[in-house]
Structure 1
Amino acid sequence: MKAFSYERAASPEAAAAAAARPGARLIAGGTNLLDLMKLQVETPVHLVDINRLGLDTIEPTAQGGLRIGAMVRNADLAADPRVRKDYAVLSRALLAGASGQLRNKATTGGNLLQRTRCYYFYDTARACNKRAPGTGCSALQGYNRMHAVVGTSDQCIATHPSDMAVAMRVLDATVETVLPSGMRRVIPIADFHRLPGQTPQTDTDLQPGELITSVTLPAPVPGQHVYRKVRDRASYAFALVSVAAIVDAVGGRIRTARMAFGGLAHKPWRVEAAEARLADTVLDDAAIDAAADTVLQGARGHGHNDFKLPLVRRTLQATITEAARAVRAVRPA
């Protein structure tokens, strides 16, 4: 790890202004950044600590939702009674991620900003356009079992690793920030993460120094909340495929369905057209297959990750079926 200077920010505005300086980075829980610094993937010359800014509360909004401070720890967010009751998909996604020790340190803002776990991104001896633009993508012809099958480009096929972000996407969260100028803005979660295109080094829509202050959830969405994560082992592993779903059904008929996917793309993957394919339909294999076709439109495996294409179909079927059955158990037709 290379030498760096350190300061504690006195306010969100001061933190954003300090982080906008060349070579500066914000640090919160540090569960991702410190690992990257040890490997010299990240080499900041200055760290701006935001742990004492008071951004660690969960408050109701006038619109019936929740405003979650950027410094709320993942463990506290997952355990909050309001989240467990009204946003169960978020609580379940958080509990499916990492380990208990990491959830105690990791923050809401940091979870959204974590970098890909692509092996080549972490290996400074290998070509990686995300780490070193213009060097190439080793994963395209390398070992790519964990990599993306939709939304990719010839520059990068990495996936976004967050479970929480997938749930935030299905809930239509918004991200509230402060700019180095002191101005505030609100970014829909759908626009927050970026696909790689020709600039895979840019993960989000944030400007240099821009600080996440909170994430707001709208009023609760009716329906059964399910988060299903398929991974190589039962804990402390990233998703091969995950599905966050909210399904409202009566008997064997689906009224509405929301679905967001992890492990498939450079960002949480949600295709509203696939949800429309399930709305007001009888729950059967044909309806779910039609939705899966829409989710996977343009999808392409790269060899080792070809298995993800059929796995998406099976995981979606299991998720929607579980949700619909749970609805029937609570509210019989």
Structure 2
Amino acid sequence: MSLLILGIESSCDETGVALVEAQGGAHVPRLLAHALHSQIEMHQAYGGVVPELASRDHIRRVLPLAEAVFAEAGRTLGAVDVVAFTRGPGLAGALLVGAGVGCALGAALDKPVLGVHHLEGHLLSPFLSADPPEFPFVALLVSGGHTQLMRVDGVGQYALLGETIDDAAGEAFDKSAKLMGLGYPGGPALSRLAQQGDPTVFALPRPLLHSGDLDFSFAGLKTAVLTQARKLGDQLEARKADLAASTQAAIVEVLVKKTLKALRQTGLQRVVVAGGVGANRLLREQLDAACARQRVRVHYPELHLCTDNGAMIAMAAAMRLQAGREQARRDYAFDVKPRWPLDSLCT
């Protein structure tokens, strides 16, 4: 028996809709179609995400995106078996849009609904790739708001190994880019500029690199970038590429070495990298090289699925249902969880 799952993502500044088909047994669910709208252009004028504007834009985009997905997949709305939506974490107003639309569709179709954890969507997104991982593995979750290392033994079987105690890696990219005047979104802009620079020019700190645990801290690095930018003064423009390269090198070194330490501690031989920072080219190159030396397999989501998207929400719902970790419900009253620790899903 197969299930057709509609996934809706609206946690921040991307509206994503997707259809995933889940077969019985251990078959990996299959992505049929997905569509995504990014609000980057709208928020650029403000230098960051404006929550109220984000919510209003989700309202405008979600149903047209759904229509496009059904057309691409050649399926009808009535064929949907389960409607999944992001319940949290994220911006409360943005989450309410996806939850409201998802539950309204479920009620109209008399089909069950399922609220999905946004980070679990990222965590399981590599299962959408042509080379899906196998359990167990170490997961490095790196996004704008989260940096975590998890031990993953199966769907819903997560153990937190370490996490950031202040800024996440994505925040370090974005905030450092803003200090350099690179605009919004800063992380991708900093990474592009870093390709033109020398990462050895500025000796920036690697916070908690030798802490002995698996926690992260990037706030001190951001402060060091600010200090260096002020020292450069009028020379900043000419040295900006070197500063960007040095910043990126510091972040990536910490991520790679902490991930390798997690592998040693757990004895596992497989890594999954997920979240927006997982698209960073230097991170992929250095982690691939380090893991190849230790004969460790590394899995990533496809590049176009590293950002927030509906496909990962539909996939997470499908895998939870397959594993018996969740039951979709016909109770259409809903709430959202702007703050929702991933390890709280463990049972």
TM-score by length of 1: 0.26
Which has the larger helix fraction?
A: 2
Q: Which of structures 1 and 2 has the larger relative contact order (alpha carbons within 8 angstroms, sep 6+)?
A: 2
